[in-house]
Copies of this chain bind each other. A is one copy, B any other.
Amino acid sequence: MKAIGIRTGASEPELLEVPRPDPESGQALVRTLRVGVDGTDREVIEGGHGGFPEGEDYLVLGHEAVGVVEDPNGTRFEAGDVVVPTVRRPPAGGENGYFARGEADMAPPEKTVERGIDGAHGFMSEYFLSEERFLIEAPPELAPRGFLIEPISITEKALELAYAARSTFEWEPDTAAVLGNGSLGLLTVAMLAREMDVYCLGRRDRPDPTIDFIEAQGGTYVDSRKTPVEQIPEEYEPVDLVYEATGYAKHAITSLYALAPNGVAALLGIPGDWEFEIDGGRFQREFVMENKAMVGSVNSGPEQFRAATGTLADLPADALDDLVTRVVDYRKFEGAFEQSDDVIKTAVQFGER
């Protein structure tokens, strides 16, 4: 079968011919429908993430997938069921407590591999296998957009951690700042804008489809070149919640200053080392005097995938159509990983339901 992957030492992905896998006991065979592309894929291509699967000289890309069950192989599924796979799997050493508890998203990096990212093949192939417990059912009508369930689940988890951190007192956030107008940031704008006023920070000039998207959701675009995150309270208003999806460490740290008292910042970006000066005294003082919180969040688990399935169903279809600016056939995937100002979200199409 065909797969989109990257070979050891290569700098560009290729269309590979790889063996079609046979399911073992407890695994279902899934025929791939669509796989989303995001910034992590680009980082994987650039070699910024983890390794290749043990003993392999290529890595199949893709971690945002939706497919249909081709061979249930004794699992709870029926042929034709629409399913979405989670991303983390036990490492070569086998099962550990995080997986046993259904909390693989809380595993430290050495206790997990990530399909399509680090140490395990992804889903950009005509078929893929998955253990039953890592497959989430999705309603058939969500099949065309089901690849958005993974990124939405990332936000579900970050928000869950953020809300939990504020659960000891009355906290009803009505303002949020989303840092980053990539597809994850924009999905989060769409999610949050249903319940609160949202500012979304980016570095784009008008006309721009991401700015159009933010405004169509009722959000406010903030040009961070003119208004850095710490100036949001002065230029607009303090926010109860910050969602950081840039990986730009200076913004992650100074987002504390954008928060209203008792606010919380959820950090999701993964930067490399970068030394710079901060007013550490002010940082700690605002943390303490205003009872603020900061949570880091990576990956997501089955529970958040299930929540994301509901969220996806609730989000307006036309908004999602504006978000998915490009669907490319897997045989002509060249360019799918390239970014440009008129691309928000790309999906690679492998099949029809």
Which residues of A pack against B, CB within 8 Å?
101, 103, 105-109, 160-161, 164-170, 247, 249-250, 252-253, 261-262, 267-298
Q: Is the CB of A272 within 8 A of B276?
A: no
Q: Which residues of B contact A253 (CB under 8 A)?
A: 280, 283-284
Q: Is the CB of A160 within 8 A of B170?
A: no
Q: Is the CB of A285 within 8 A of B261?
A: no
Q: Which residues of B contact A291 (CB under 8 A)?
A: 105-106, 161, 295-298
Of A103, A165, A269, chain B has the most CB atoms within 10 Å of the CB of A165
Q: Which residues of B contact A166 (CB under 8 A)?
A: 164
Q: How far is the CB of A159 from chain B (nearest CB, A)?
A: 10
Query: Which of B165, B280, B290 makes the CB contact (< 8 A) with A274?
Result: B280
Q: How far is the CB of A89 from chain B (nearest CB, A)?
A: 17
Q: Is the CB of A278 within 8 A of B280?
A: yes
Q: How often does this chain occur in the complex, in copies?
A: 2
Q: How far is the CB of A103 from chain B (nearest CB, A)?
A: 5
Complex Cα gap A249–B290 (Å): 16
On whether A108 and B261 interact (CB within 8 A), knowing A280-B278, A290-B296, A296-B290, the answer reads yes
Q: How far is the CB of A186 from chain B (nearest CB, A)?
A: 20
On whether A281 and B271 interact (CB within 8 A), knowing A164-B168, A295-B165, the answer reads yes
Q: Is the CB of B274 within 8 A of A281?
A: yes
Q: Is the CB of B293 within 8 A of A298?
A: no
Q: A252-B280, A269-B288, A270-B288 are in contact. List 5 more A-B contacts (CB 8 A).
A: A106-B261, A272-B285, A275-B277, A291-B296, A292-B296
